[in-house]
Amino acid sequence: MFFSRNKQERIQEIEQAIAGFYAIDGLPANADAIVALADREKYEAGKKQNIEISLGFTVKSTLEALKNKLRQSLPALAECKIDVVFNVPITEAKLPPIPNVKNVIAVSSGKGGVGKSATSVNLAYALQKEGARVGILDADIYGPSVPIMLGNPKAHPDSQDNRTMYPLMVEGIAANSIGYLIDSESAAIWRGPMATKALKQLIYETKWPLLDYLIVDLPPGTGDIHLTLSQQVPLSAAVIVTTPQTIATADAKKGIAMFEKLNIPVLGIVENMSYFECKCGEKSYPFSQGGSLALAEQHRIDVLGELPLSNDIREHADNGKPIVNALAESSVTSIYLSIARKVSIKVGTTLQSHQLTREQKNSSANNGVNIQVVNKE
Protein backbone atom coordinates (compact mmCIF):
# COMPACT_ATOMS: atom_id res chain seq x y z
CA MET A 1 0.00 0.00 0.00
CA PHE A 2 1.30 3.47 -0.83
CA PHE A 3 0.69 6.40 1.48
CA SER A 4 -0.06 9.87 0.26
CA ARG A 5 2.65 12.42 0.84
CA ASN A 6 0.35 14.37 3.12
CA LYS A 7 -0.37 11.37 5.22
CA GLN A 8 3.26 10.38 5.45
CA GLU A 9 4.20 13.83 6.61
CA ARG A 10 1.62 13.73 9.36
CA ILE A 11 2.74 10.33 10.47
CA GLN A 12 6.32 11.45 10.52
CA GLU A 13 5.38 14.37 12.72
CA ILE A 14 3.74 12.07 15.24
CA GLU A 15 6.57 9.59 15.00
CA GLN A 16 9.22 12.25 15.53
CA ALA A 17 7.36 13.68 18.49
CA ILE A 18 7.16 10.23 20.10
CA ALA A 19 10.76 9.35 19.31
CA GLY A 20 11.89 12.72 20.66
CA PHE A 21 9.87 12.17 23.80
CA TYR A 22 11.50 8.84 24.50
CA ALA A 23 14.93 10.19 23.68
CA ILE A 24 14.77 12.04 27.00
CA ASP A 25 16.54 9.12 28.58
CA GLY A 26 19.36 9.44 26.09
CA LEU A 27 18.02 6.68 23.91
CA PRO A 28 17.96 6.59 20.13
CA ALA A 29 15.26 8.69 18.55
CA ASN A 30 15.21 6.84 15.28
CA ALA A 31 11.93 5.00 15.52
CA ASP A 32 9.93 4.86 12.33
CA ALA A 33 6.20 4.78 12.27
CA ILE A 34 3.68 2.71 10.42
CA VAL A 35 0.24 4.11 10.04
CA ALA A 36 -3.04 2.64 9.00
CA LEU A 37 -5.56 5.39 8.60
CA ALA A 38 -9.08 4.11 8.77
CA ASP A 39 -10.52 7.43 7.80
CA ARG A 40 -7.81 9.35 6.05
CA GLU A 41 -9.93 12.22 4.77
CA LYS A 42 -11.11 13.08 8.24
CA TYR A 43 -7.61 12.97 9.64
CA GLU A 44 -6.15 15.07 6.88
CA ALA A 45 -8.92 17.60 7.26
CA GLY A 46 -7.87 17.92 10.91
CA LYS A 47 -11.27 16.66 12.08
CA LYS A 48 -11.63 14.98 15.40
CA GLN A 49 -10.59 11.38 15.26
CA ASN A 50 -9.36 8.83 17.72
CA ILE A 51 -5.79 7.75 17.33
CA GLU A 52 -4.20 4.57 18.55
CA ILE A 53 -0.46 4.39 19.03
CA SER A 54 1.11 1.01 19.34
CA LEU A 55 4.50 1.06 21.03
CA GLY A 56 7.03 -1.76 20.89
CA PHE A 57 8.08 -1.02 24.47
CA THR A 58 6.35 -0.68 27.81
CA VAL A 59 6.37 2.78 29.38
CA LYS A 60 3.08 3.05 31.24
CA SER A 61 4.24 5.65 33.77
CA THR A 62 5.03 8.13 30.97
CA LEU A 63 1.82 7.91 28.93
CA GLU A 64 -0.03 10.92 30.32
CA ALA A 65 3.04 13.08 29.73
CA LEU A 66 3.40 11.67 26.20
CA LYS A 67 -0.24 12.45 25.34
CA ASN A 68 0.10 15.98 26.71
CA LYS A 69 3.21 16.54 24.67
CA LEU A 70 1.57 15.24 21.48
CA ARG A 71 -1.49 17.43 21.99
CA GLN A 72 0.63 20.48 22.69
CA SER A 73 3.11 20.06 19.89
CA LEU A 74 0.77 18.79 17.16
CA PRO A 75 -2.36 20.92 16.72
CA ALA A 76 -4.02 18.18 14.63
CA LEU A 77 -4.05 16.01 17.73
CA ALA A 78 -5.31 18.66 20.14
CA GLU A 79 -8.86 17.31 20.10
CA CYS A 80 -8.06 13.65 19.49
CA LYS A 81 -8.55 10.89 21.96
CA ILE A 82 -5.18 9.17 22.05
CA ASP A 83 -4.97 5.51 23.04
CA VAL A 84 -1.65 3.78 23.49
CA VAL A 85 -1.21 0.02 23.41
CA PHE A 86 1.98 -1.95 23.98
CA ASN A 87 3.02 -4.50 21.43
CA VAL A 88 6.42 -5.79 22.45
CA PRO A 89 8.17 -7.44 19.48
CA ILE A 90 9.88 -10.81 19.52
CA THR A 91 13.62 -10.37 19.27
CA GLU A 92 15.30 -12.34 16.56
CA ALA A 93 17.76 -14.85 17.98
CA LYS A 94 19.82 -17.60 16.37
CA LEU A 95 17.73 -20.17 18.21
CA PRO A 96 13.98 -20.71 18.04
CA PRO A 97 12.04 -18.84 20.73
CA ILE A 98 10.97 -20.45 23.99
CA PRO A 99 7.22 -21.07 23.64
CA ASN A 100 5.26 -18.00 24.82
CA VAL A 101 8.41 -15.99 25.64
CA LYS A 102 9.06 -12.96 23.45
CA ASN A 103 12.37 -11.80 24.88
CA VAL A 104 14.88 -13.36 27.24
CA ILE A 105 17.01 -10.87 29.14
CA ALA A 106 19.96 -12.13 31.16
CA VAL A 107 20.99 -10.22 34.26
CA SER A 108 24.63 -10.91 34.87
CA SER A 109 27.50 -9.76 37.07
CA GLY A 110 31.12 -10.74 37.08
CA LYS A 111 31.53 -10.61 40.82
CA GLY A 112 29.28 -12.25 43.41
CA GLY A 113 27.25 -10.34 45.95
CA VAL A 114 26.92 -7.11 43.98
CA GLY A 115 23.11 -7.21 44.06
CA LYS A 116 22.33 -9.04 40.85
CA SER A 117 19.34 -10.95 42.26
CA ALA A 118 17.96 -7.86 44.00
CA THR A 119 18.28 -6.05 40.67
CA SER A 120 16.63 -8.93 38.77
CA VAL A 121 13.54 -9.10 40.96
CA ASN A 122 13.13 -5.33 41.15
CA LEU A 123 13.62 -5.05 37.39
CA ALA A 124 10.94 -7.73 36.91
CA TYR A 125 8.48 -5.80 39.09
CA ALA A 126 9.43 -2.51 37.45
CA LEU A 127 8.85 -3.87 33.93
CA GLN A 128 5.50 -5.19 35.10
CA LYS A 129 4.55 -1.80 36.55
CA GLU A 130 5.42 -0.24 33.21
CA GLY A 131 2.89 -2.55 31.54
CA ALA A 132 4.82 -5.67 30.54
CA ARG A 133 4.05 -9.34 31.10
CA VAL A 134 7.06 -10.60 32.97
CA GLY A 135 8.63 -13.84 34.14
CA ILE A 136 11.75 -14.48 36.13
CA LEU A 137 13.97 -17.51 35.97
CA ASP A 138 16.54 -18.05 38.66
CA ALA A 139 19.51 -19.53 36.81
CA ASP A 140 21.72 -19.20 39.83
CA ILE A 141 21.67 -22.95 40.20
CA TYR A 142 24.31 -22.91 42.95
CA GLY A 143 22.79 -20.22 45.14
CA PRO A 144 19.19 -19.45 44.18
CA SER A 145 17.87 -16.35 45.95
CA VAL A 146 14.85 -15.50 43.81
CA PRO A 147 12.43 -17.63 45.92
CA ILE A 148 13.49 -15.72 49.04
CA MET A 149 13.23 -12.37 47.30
CA LEU A 150 9.78 -13.21 45.93
CA GLY A 151 8.69 -14.26 49.40
CA ASN A 152 7.79 -17.90 48.62
CA PRO A 153 10.89 -20.00 49.42
CA LYS A 154 8.84 -23.03 50.40
CA ALA A 155 6.65 -23.11 47.28
CA HIS A 156 6.84 -25.88 44.65
CA PRO A 157 5.75 -25.70 41.04
CA ASP A 158 2.74 -27.85 40.13
CA SER A 159 2.91 -30.45 37.42
CA GLN A 160 0.06 -32.30 35.77
CA ASP A 161 2.10 -34.72 33.72
CA ASN A 162 5.28 -35.08 35.81
CA ARG A 163 7.19 -33.81 32.82
CA THR A 164 6.44 -30.14 32.61
CA MET A 165 5.72 -27.69 35.42
CA TYR A 166 3.71 -24.55 35.96
CA PRO A 167 5.71 -21.56 37.17
CA LEU A 168 4.87 -20.02 40.52
CA MET A 169 2.79 -16.87 40.08
CA VAL A 170 3.71 -14.04 42.46
CA GLU A 171 1.67 -10.85 42.00
CA GLY A 172 1.33 -11.62 38.30
CA ILE A 173 5.00 -12.47 37.79
CA ALA A 174 5.75 -16.01 36.61
CA ALA A 175 8.76 -17.47 38.39
CA ASN A 176 10.77 -20.64 38.48
CA SER A 177 13.96 -21.56 40.28
CA ILE A 178 15.91 -24.64 41.22
CA GLY A 179 15.27 -23.35 44.75
CA TYR A 180 11.60 -24.36 44.37
CA LEU A 181 12.57 -27.90 43.40
CA ILE A 182 15.35 -28.98 45.71
CA ASP A 183 17.01 -27.62 48.82
CA SER A 184 19.79 -25.17 48.07
CA GLU A 185 22.50 -27.30 49.74
CA SER A 186 21.93 -30.13 47.24
CA ALA A 187 22.25 -27.72 44.32
CA ALA A 188 25.43 -26.19 45.69
CA ILE A 189 27.40 -29.38 44.95
CA TRP A 190 26.29 -29.63 41.31
CA ARG A 191 28.89 -29.04 38.71
CA GLY A 192 29.17 -28.76 34.94
CA PRO A 193 26.76 -30.88 32.93
CA MET A 194 24.42 -31.55 35.85
CA ALA A 195 23.91 -27.86 36.47
CA THR A 196 23.49 -26.96 32.81
CA LYS A 197 21.00 -29.82 32.31
CA ALA A 198 19.00 -28.58 35.29
CA LEU A 199 19.01 -25.07 33.85
CA LYS A 200 17.79 -26.19 30.44
CA GLN A 201 15.02 -28.19 32.07
CA LEU A 202 13.97 -25.20 34.11
CA ILE A 203 13.75 -23.05 31.01
CA TYR A 204 12.16 -25.45 28.56
CA GLU A 205 10.01 -27.59 30.85
CA THR A 206 8.28 -24.67 32.50
CA LYS A 207 4.92 -23.81 30.97
CA TRP A 208 5.45 -20.06 30.77
CA PRO A 209 2.40 -17.90 30.21
CA LEU A 210 2.71 -15.31 27.44
CA LEU A 211 5.63 -13.11 28.47
CA ASP A 212 7.05 -9.94 26.98
CA TYR A 213 10.21 -10.43 29.00
CA LEU A 214 11.72 -13.38 30.81
CA ILE A 215 14.38 -12.06 33.18
CA VAL A 216 17.11 -14.62 33.83
CA ASP A 217 19.10 -14.13 37.00
CA LEU A 218 22.48 -15.68 36.19
CA PRO A 219 25.02 -16.93 38.71
CA PRO A 220 28.06 -14.69 39.15
CA GLY A 221 31.09 -15.23 36.93
CA THR A 222 31.53 -16.39 33.36
CA GLY A 223 31.28 -20.16 33.67
CA ASP A 224 29.42 -23.17 32.25
CA ILE A 225 25.98 -21.82 32.96
CA HIS A 226 26.71 -18.64 31.06
CA LEU A 227 28.03 -20.50 28.06
CA THR A 228 25.08 -22.89 28.04
CA LEU A 229 22.65 -20.09 28.35
CA SER A 230 24.28 -18.01 25.67
CA GLN A 231 24.64 -20.86 23.20
CA GLN A 232 21.52 -22.92 23.81
CA VAL A 233 18.88 -20.44 24.89
CA PRO A 234 17.58 -17.64 22.64
CA LEU A 235 18.94 -14.74 24.69
CA SER A 236 17.81 -11.36 23.42
CA ALA A 237 20.23 -9.26 25.41
CA ALA A 238 22.06 -8.91 28.70
CA VAL A 239 22.13 -6.35 31.51
CA ILE A 240 25.29 -6.14 33.61
CA VAL A 241 25.14 -5.36 37.32
CA THR A 242 28.19 -4.11 39.15
CA THR A 243 29.22 -2.06 42.14
CA PRO A 244 31.55 0.88 41.44
CA GLN A 245 34.85 -0.35 42.86
CA THR A 246 37.61 -1.59 40.53
CA ILE A 247 37.53 -5.12 41.92
CA ALA A 248 33.90 -5.43 40.76
CA THR A 249 34.10 -3.51 37.48
CA ALA A 250 37.11 -5.62 36.41
CA ASP A 251 34.91 -8.73 36.72
CA ALA A 252 31.98 -6.97 35.05
CA LYS A 253 34.30 -6.23 32.13
CA LYS A 254 34.92 -9.97 31.69
CA GLY A 255 31.16 -10.50 31.61
CA ILE A 256 30.68 -7.83 28.95
CA ALA A 257 33.54 -9.30 26.90
CA MET A 258 31.92 -12.74 27.09
CA PHE A 259 28.57 -11.47 25.79
CA GLU A 260 30.30 -9.48 23.07
CA LYS A 261 32.16 -12.59 21.95
CA LEU A 262 28.90 -14.53 21.85
CA ASN A 263 27.20 -11.74 19.89
CA ILE A 264 24.65 -11.05 22.57
CA PRO A 265 23.85 -7.34 22.82
CA VAL A 266 24.60 -5.77 26.18
CA LEU A 267 21.86 -3.24 26.95
CA GLY A 268 23.92 -1.47 29.56
CA ILE A 269 25.23 -1.43 33.11
CA VAL A 270 23.26 -1.04 36.33
CA GLU A 271 25.54 0.40 38.99
CA ASN A 272 24.35 -0.91 42.34
CA MET A 273 25.42 0.45 45.73
CA SER A 274 26.59 3.45 43.77
CA TYR A 275 26.36 5.94 46.62
CA PHE A 276 24.99 6.36 50.10
CA GLU A 277 22.58 9.17 50.79
CA CYS A 278 22.32 10.27 54.38
CA LYS A 279 19.09 11.63 55.84
CA CYS A 280 20.46 15.17 55.43
CA GLY A 281 20.53 14.53 51.66
CA GLU A 282 24.31 14.46 51.33
CA LYS A 283 25.75 11.74 49.11
CA SER A 284 28.92 9.81 49.82
CA TYR A 285 30.65 7.18 47.70
CA PRO A 286 31.93 4.36 49.94
CA PHE A 287 32.80 2.11 46.98
CA SER A 288 34.44 4.87 44.91
CA GLN A 289 32.95 6.72 41.97
CA GLY A 290 32.88 6.63 38.20
CA GLY A 291 33.89 2.97 37.72
CA SER A 292 30.80 1.94 35.75
CA LEU A 293 30.80 5.02 33.60
CA ALA A 294 34.41 4.39 32.57
CA LEU A 295 33.57 0.76 31.79
CA ALA A 296 30.48 1.78 29.83
CA GLU A 297 32.48 4.27 27.79
CA GLN A 298 35.12 1.65 27.00
CA HIS A 299 32.46 -0.68 25.63
CA ARG A 300 30.24 2.03 24.15
CA ILE A 301 27.28 1.01 26.21
CA ASP A 302 25.09 2.98 28.62
CA VAL A 303 24.86 3.16 32.37
CA LEU A 304 21.16 2.37 32.71
CA GLY A 305 20.89 3.66 36.26
CA GLU A 306 22.62 4.08 39.60
CA LEU A 307 21.09 2.66 42.74
CA PRO A 308 22.04 3.72 46.24
CA LEU A 309 23.38 1.54 49.00
CA SER A 310 20.12 1.42 50.83
CA ASN A 311 18.74 -0.35 53.81
CA ASP A 312 15.30 -0.28 52.17
CA ILE A 313 16.56 -2.21 49.12
CA ARG A 314 18.16 -4.91 51.30
CA GLU A 315 15.35 -5.22 53.80
CA HIS A 316 12.58 -5.50 51.24
CA ALA A 317 14.47 -7.87 48.95
CA ASP A 318 15.55 -10.17 51.77
CA ASN A 319 12.06 -10.17 53.28
CA GLY A 320 10.41 -11.23 50.04
CA LYS A 321 8.78 -7.89 49.12
CA PRO A 322 11.14 -6.12 46.69
CA ILE A 323 11.10 -2.36 47.10
CA VAL A 324 9.46 -1.70 43.72
CA ASN A 325 6.52 -3.75 44.89
CA ALA A 326 6.53 -2.61 48.51
CA LEU A 327 7.23 1.14 48.23
CA ALA A 328 5.67 2.33 45.00
CA GLU A 329 6.35 6.00 45.68
CA SER A 330 9.97 5.80 46.87
CA SER A 331 12.77 7.52 44.97
CA VAL A 332 14.55 4.15 44.67
CA THR A 333 11.47 2.68 42.96
CA SER A 334 11.54 5.50 40.42
CA ILE A 335 15.16 4.64 39.60
CA TYR A 336 14.19 1.01 38.96
CA LEU A 337 11.25 2.16 36.81
CA SER A 338 13.56 4.35 34.76
CA ILE A 339 15.95 1.41 34.28
CA ALA A 340 13.02 -0.80 33.23
CA ARG A 341 11.85 1.74 30.64
CA LYS A 342 15.34 2.00 29.19
CA VAL A 343 15.63 -1.79 28.99
CA SER A 344 12.26 -2.02 27.29
CA ILE A 345 12.90 0.87 24.88
CA LYS A 346 16.27 -0.59 23.95
CA VAL A 347 14.83 -4.05 23.33
CA GLY A 348 11.99 -2.54 21.30
CA THR A 349 14.01 -0.11 19.22
CA THR A 350 17.57 -1.34 18.90
CA LEU A 351 17.35 -5.12 18.53
CA GLN A 352 16.32 -6.99 15.42
CA SER A 353 12.80 -8.23 15.82
CA HIS A 354 10.07 -9.83 13.82
CA GLN A 355 6.61 -8.71 14.58
CA LEU A 356 6.13 -6.71 11.46
CA THR A 357 4.14 -7.74 8.48
CA ARG A 358 5.86 -7.71 5.11
CA GLU A 359 4.16 -4.43 4.23
CA GLN A 360 5.30 -2.84 7.46
CA LYS A 361 8.84 -4.09 6.96
CA ASN A 362 8.97 -2.46 3.55
CA SER A 363 8.09 0.90 4.97
CA SER A 364 10.03 0.80 8.20
CA ALA A 365 13.61 0.15 9.21
CA ASN A 366 12.83 0.04 12.88
CA ASN A 367 9.65 -0.94 14.66
CA GLY A 368 10.02 0.88 17.97
CA VAL A 369 7.04 3.08 17.37
CA ASN A 370 4.07 1.78 15.49
CA ILE A 371 1.36 4.36 15.12
CA GLN A 372 -2.09 3.23 14.16
CA VAL A 373 -4.55 5.98 13.55
CA VAL A 374 -7.97 4.41 13.74
CA ASN A 375 -11.46 5.71 13.58
CA LYS A 376 -13.19 4.49 16.72
CA GLU A 377 -16.32 6.59 16.56
Ligand X SMILES: Nc1ncnc2c1ncn2[C@@H]1O[C@H](COP(=O)(O)OP(=O)(O)OP(=O)(O)O)[C@@H](O)[C@H]1O
Among 88-96, 248-256, 289-297, 309-317, the segment contacting ligand X (CB under 6 A) = 309-317
Distance CA 198, CA 196 (A): 5
Q: Binding of ligand X at residue 211 (CB under 6 A)? A: no
Among 44-52, 108-116, 245-253, 350-358, the segment contacting ligand X (CB under 6 A) = 108-116
Among 84-92, 113-121, 184-192, 294-302, the segment contacting ligand X (CB under 6 A) = 113-121
CB atoms within 10 A of CB 259: 22
Q: Which is nearer to ligand X, 289 or 375 (CB)?
A: 289
Q: Binding of ligand X at residue 205 (CB under 6 A)? A: no
Q: Binding of ligand X at residue 322 (CB under 6 A)? A: no
Q: Which is nearer to ligand X, 60 or 314 (CB)?
A: 314
| Buried-exposed string 4-23: b where 16+ CB fall within 10 A, e elsewhere | eeebeebbebbbbbbbebbe
Q: Binding of ligand X at residue 321 (CB under 6 A)? A: no
**Contact predicate 98/205, CB 8 Å:** no
Q: Binding of ligand X at residue 152 (CB under 6 A)? A: no
User: Is 268 marked within a binding site?
Assistant: no
Report CA Rg, the chain: 22
Long-range pairs for 13-19 at CB < 8 Å and ≥24 separation? 13/74, 14/51, 14/53, 14/70, 14/74, 14/77, 14/371, 15/369, 15/371, 17/69, 17/70, 17/73, 17/74, 18/53, 18/55, 18/66, 18/70, 18/369, 18/371, 19/368, 19/369
**Nearest distance from C-beta of residue 323 to ligand X, angstroms:** 9
Residues in 153-192 that interact with ligand X by CB under 6 A: none
What are the residues whose beta carbons fall under 8 Å from the beta carbon of 41, sequence distance 6 or more?
none
Residues in 215-254 that interact with ligand X by CB under 6 A: 220
Q: Which is nearer to ligand X, 10 or 116 (CB)?
A: 116
**Nearest distance from C-beta of residue 226 to ligand X, angstroms:** 13
Interface positions with ligand X (CB under 6 A) = 109, 112-118, 140, 143, 145, 220, 272-273, 307, 309-310, 313-314, 317-318
